[in-house]
């Protein structure tokens, strides 16, 4: 199941800049358009925790 398009329209990075996120359905990730952090989507639930986000350029675990 893919994330709902209406949900994607309102999701934003949890950092102070609150930039929009782009969704990669194949990788099941959301990426911040400003800081580049990559947030996982687990079981169709976005995990928007800064402590669990991958930094830009870091490899997936």
- The predicted-structure confidence for 20-56, as pLDDT tens digits, reads as follows 999 999 999 999 999 999 999 999 899 999 999 999 8
CATH 1.10.1200 fits 5-52, yes or no: no
pTM: 0.87
**5: three-class secondary structure by DSSP:** helix
The size of the chain, in residues, is 61
DSSP assignment of 32-60: ETTT--EEEEETTEE---GGGPBPTTPPP
Domain ranges of the chain: 5-52
CA atoms within 13 A on the CB side of 53: 19
């Amino acid at each position: 199941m893919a994330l709902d398009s209406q949900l994607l329209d309102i999701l934003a990075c949890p950092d102070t800049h609150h930039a929009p996120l782009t969704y990669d359905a194949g990788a099941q990730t959301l990426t911040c358009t400003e800081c580049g952090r990559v947030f996982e989507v687990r079981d169709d639930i976005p995990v928007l925790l800064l402590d669990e986000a991958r930094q830009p350029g870091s490899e997936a675990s």
